[in-house]
Amino acid sequence: MRAEQRSGSLMAAPYAAFLLVFAAYPIAFALVLVFLQWDLVTTPSFAGLDNVRLLANDGRFWRAVANTFVFLSIHLPLQIATALVLALALNRPLVLRSFWRASFFLPVVISGAVVAILWSNLYATDVGLINRLLVRIGLTPVPWLTDPSTAMPAIAAMVTWKNVGFYVIIYLAGLQYIPRSCQEAIEMEGATAWQRFRHLTLPMLLPQTILVVTLSTINGFQLFIEPYVMTGGGPLRRTYSIVLYLYTNAFSYQKMGYAATIGVALALIIGAVVFIQRRVIGKEETL
Amino acid sequence: MPSVHFDHVSKRFGATTVVEDFNLEVADGELLVLVGGSGSGKTTILRMLAGLEEVTEGMIRIDQRDVTALPPRERDVAMVFQDYGLYPHMTVRENLSLGLRLRKVARKEIDRRVAWAGDMLRLEPLLDRKPKQLSGGQQQRVAMGRAMVREPLVFLFDEPLSNLDAGLRAQMRIEIGGLQRRLKTTTVYVTHDQVEAMTLGDRIVVLADGRIQQVGKPIELYRAPVNRFVAGFIGTPPMNFVDGQLLREDGSTVFAAEGVRVQLPHEIADGTGSSEVVTLGIRPEDLTVDSGDSTDAPADSIPGRVVLVERLGGTSHVHFDAGPHRLLASVSNDRLPEVGDSITVRVRAERVHLFGGDGRKT
């Protein structure tokens, strides 16, 4: 038994070390930084609750929080709907099914910066492919990334496209868990395709939906690369996300203490939102 | 009235023929059992009737209506699945009522039918539970209730008892039989278990390799199997088979094989040729064990040596070797031989079966 314990600890050691160095230590360091003022160069000085007080009254921070919520309010429903529809389509007998599955997953593994640059070109007002298609069918071009009202929705659509393959896989796994006899039973009971989806498929995918909502919420709050590359937070700061604001404070203004405070606040917000989500949609989960 | 007709129904998956030229009429109110081993096509036939499997050739009619091309929901049949197919996220009440709700049946009528099924199947205390909170037998009853409340033209059962333990299986078998007799709903029941088939079926269809071997009342199949397959499939313990030859001796016909000689009565021997190669079939209960030596043995007896005695309580199974043949006698417990004993086994020659080289009854 003791030998077993020792070999177990030994095998867990590399991961434990990784966790200590890259998770536990940074978290602890960030928590300390909240009470410091530090520009990365000079010696840190104790700042008490100055950073927290500043954050509470910082309009730009709250603007970024609002922006991020706008992003999530578009991204989450879009992400769930597209992932679900694609999973349902890819779960049917389909010509070239493996090819389609791989195609939808491909964007997940492409670097976020590359995708952002690619989509900047697609979204370009005058020469972008999307606007050219719009003009072709007789519509007026849309200044996707330069109009304050369309910039964040455009980014949300792009992020949805990039991540959809990952959530499709989660839903596909869930779909394969629905017993065939249940599907046949409800079919024999007279359910139409919509009724089968409404009364069997959707409720039985609840655990997957909770997972998709949780993961895409956590990911969504960390929105950074896309506005950083595509809009720089504009126009009119409408795409300024929390993490972009954190990054700017840390590496443009060298305010490490304040950046850490934003980071801790972000972690608390994510925790609170995920908690509320689970309370609301998780209460039905008794599968 | 809702009868079911299969007219020349075939099913092929690619080059493989699973069901071949299947013809059958299920009478109104009848409980018909399809029985056969795995790969016999019994489940495929049921699924074609349900509409879950396409028919390659032929026609299926329910209540004289051609349903061959109709989707399951337009056939008005209800099925009880092997793994029950209950909706795990719904309570028992919701499971029972979903089909009616989907068909927009009035609320009052739904409540009435759910109460009726709940009462009949003793489900009332379970109505607000979810399937995973129920035992196997309770889930089985919910699955039956879900089929009942629909009041369909035909009930389909796909091996409904195979996930239950032996005791519960016997109990549920009785419940299903009783329920069907009370409801008088035309029922097609698929099983691989011949005991289920014998005890439940008004008639039994024995299938092998996608073809009907025999259709008949349980006792007909038992007493007069048309071929060796049916003879071996129906009855526990299974029939003994001995390959041998027919000989004419002094105007009578004798079955002869190494270690086994049985003088056949005229009604069995009639119509057979001399020196014909045949298989003799003897039910275990048609063998009587006379312990002791076989010096003054009568003509219809076989000498043997006991190799195993299985004591089952009421009766016992005596396994013995007669020449190169291992045979089984089902005997009462009065005078059981011991392993290694020499015995004389008397054959009730009027009850034996003869099968020709092609397996058919001669």
Q: Residue A221 is part of a domain; what is its CATH number?
A: 1.10.3720.10
- Smallest CA–CA distance, residue B168 to chain A, in Å, is 22
* Same domain? A127 vs A230: yes
For residue B258, give both structure tokens: 């190494």
- Interatomic CA distance for residues A213 and A281, integer angstroms: 10
* Same domain? A86 vs A186: yes
Q: What is the CA radius of gyration of chain A?
A: 23
ipTM: 0.83
* Same domain? A38 vs A28: no
In degrees and rounded to multiples of 5, residue B360 shows phi and psi of -85, 155
**Which pLDDT tens digit goes with each residue over B246-255?**
888 877 888 9
- Nearest residue on chain A to B152, judged by CA atoms? A189
Helix, strand and coil content of chain A, in percent to the nearest 5, comes to 75, 0, 25
User: Which member of A182, A206, A286 has the closest CB to residue B87?
Assistant: A182
Q: Would you call B122 an interface residue with chain A, using a CB distance cutoff of 8 Å? A: no
* Same domain? A157 vs A144: yes
Q: Do domains B4-233 and B240-355 have the same CATH topology?
A: no
Q: Would you call A198 an interface residue with chain B, using a CB distance cutoff of 8 Å? A: no
Interface of A with B in 210-249 (CB under 8 A): none
For residue A236, give both structure tokens: 């009119």
* Same domain? A82 vs A170: yes
What is the predicted pLDDT for the residue at A223? Answer: 94
* Same domain? A136 vs A26: no
Domain count, chain A: 2
> Per-residue pLDDT for B335 more than 90?
no
**Which pLDDT tens digit goes with each residue over B136-159?**
889 999 999 999 999 999 999 999
In chain B, where are the structural domains located?
4-233, 240-355
B contact test, residue of A189, A201, A283 with most B CBs within 10 A: A189
Q: Give the least confident one: B38-52, B114-128, B259-273.
A: B259-273
Q: Would you call B303 an interface residue with chain A, using a CB distance cutoff of 8 Å? A: no
For residue A162, give both structure tokens: 């990039």
* Same domain? A28 vs A47: no
Residue of B259, B257, B263 lying closest to B277 (CA atoms): B257
* Same domain? A2 vs A92: no
For residue B98, give both structure tokens: 């979903």
- Smallest CA–CA distance, residue A177 to chain B, in Å, is 12
In degrees and rounded to multiples of 5, residue B122 shows phi and psi of 55, 50
* Same domain? A15 vs A122: no
* Same domain? A21 vs A143: no
Q: Give the least confident one: A78-87, A245-254, A271-280.
A: A271-280
- Nearest residue on chain B to A186, judged by CA atoms? B99
Q: Would you call B50 an interface residue with chain A, using a CB distance cutoff of 8 Å? A: yes
* Same domain? A38 vs A19: no
What is the predicted pLDDT for the residue at A30? Answer: 92
Q: Domain limits at A17?
A: 1-32
Tokens 């009855």 correspond to what residue? B235
What is the predicted pLDDT for the residue at A286? Answer: 44
Task: Please give the C-alpha separations between residue A165 and each of A83, A227, A274, B122, B181, in angstroms, as whole numbers.
Answer: 7, 21, 22, 48, 54
Class of domain B240-355: mainly beta
Please tell me which residue, A198 or B267, carries the higher pLDDT value: A198
- Interatomic CA distance for residues B292 and A57, integer angstroms: 108
* Same domain? A246 vs A214: yes
Instruction: Domain B4-233: give its CATH architecture.
Output: 3-Layer(aba) Sandwich (3.40)
